[in-house]
Chains A and B, each alone.
Chain A
Amino acid sequence: MKWGRFMAFLVMVAVVIGLTVGTAMPIAKKIPLGLDLRGGVDLLYQIQPSSGQHITESGKQALLQAVELRVNNLGVASPIIDLEGRDQIRVQLAGVKDQAAAAKTIGETAQLAMYSSAKMDPKTGAPIAPAGKLLATGADLKSNASYVQDPNTGKNEVAISFKDPKKWENITSTYLGKPIYIFLNDNLLTDPVINEKMFTGDSVIYGPQLTTPQECQQLASQINAGALPYPLHLQSETSVGPSLGQASLQATLYAGMIAIILIFLFMIVLYRMAGLIADIALVAYGYLTILIFNGLHVVLTLSGLAALVLGVGMAVDANIITYERIKDEMRQGRSLRSAVKIGNKNALRAIIDSNATTFIAGAVMYWFGQGDIRGFSVALMVSIIVSLLTAVLLSRMMLLSFTNSGVVKRPWWYGVGKGVLKNDEA
């Protein structure tokens, strides 16, 4: 019996159990849950066509697309967007921190306008309202606006490009040396003086309303989502409960706990000590997954949970593959120690290939999917990586140090029955 190896094994077990018991709950509580699991905010918009404008079927589809684009720009997982009645759009969002800003981004068109002059506040001399000639609007801009940082000053800006570089060239040549006034929803954004003629149509805008990256991103996404075909008016804003139902989720939570306990017992019955090691690796899997979800600010939905369950399945599978291989090696007459070593080695390729294939599926789903599908694929990719770290790497380290410590010598501890072995002892 080697006490050093056994101590190393005990330390690994203690670290996993200690960290999980000590810190898992507070971290888990920080993970935002999706609309289906916790509910969120329900926004109802009235489509209000301007006078003389008719709502057409294609116009409604364009409007829904624009709304969807704006919701996606908010970075919200799995929104629900419904067309309601003849002239209403209902949007349900989960995990939104600033509801008012979200409601605004979805419903308001960024009315970006550039004017040749402005009314000045008589007291301060600061420009307050547009005047003079309307030079350009948000509609003149391409849909590729983005948040940038000035490489020299570090100032937050929004990079824009004009659809027609000629137009911007004309403006900059006409008003060379003069200020122009850029308003966002009738508030002055900035009043830059044009210093040189611009030929490419590319420019940046900045101003007192664009100080944080978030503000810049919001303006950029509003410009990119374009003008809404019809103005929207926010009619109501209510909080909604989980779409899967409170009682139902409570029951599911308990059932999930029973399932985990049964899986743990099943592994121990099948593989004894090795099964227990697999169970500890599973605890580490759960803990690391929670940690990464929290770090990535993933909004967890039922699809995400499904992917995690699949991840648990794959993690358990990795251990089962390894233990069956170890049994195979023992049947061929290897000693306990070398069976554990060779078994681990032989199992690895199957585990890597099967996990890599599923990971590729996850990556493709992320690339081509949206909403719920993306939530699923992110959770799947995270759980595959974590399961390789825990169910393969950690589990292997624990198993090897336990085996090499020589605490137990009977293969029974690894789930190997009597009669399959040629020489019963290591």
Chain B
Amino acid sequence: MTNQKGSSSSDEQMDKELFDTISAINNGLDKLDSMDTYVPDDKWFEQMVLNQQEVQKKKYRRELAWFILSAMLILSGVIFTMLELPMLFFMLQAATVAITAIYSYKGVQKQVGSR
């Protein structure tokens, strides 16, 4: 019983100390909060958003251009080999299937191994 009382009073003391610590932290942070913060005007925010939207549009156009270019290169390569070098076309097809299968199998093996 004495032990229980002793431990419960030390727990209370600990709780009280933690509560005081939280209070001290909050009081300090309140002082930070009470400081004035410079807020730019609406024009600045609007300009910032417009600039960011412009950056995004450029990025989107660049990515789309790269995608179309890559697609055209791949398609023209495929069509060329299919029409001019059918043997090479079938070998490439087989190699692609084999590489995909091996890569997938190794991925599954790695996952099983990590468990």
- Asked if chains A and B come from one complex, the reply is no
Listed in ascending order, the chain B residues whose CB lies under 8 Å from chain A are none
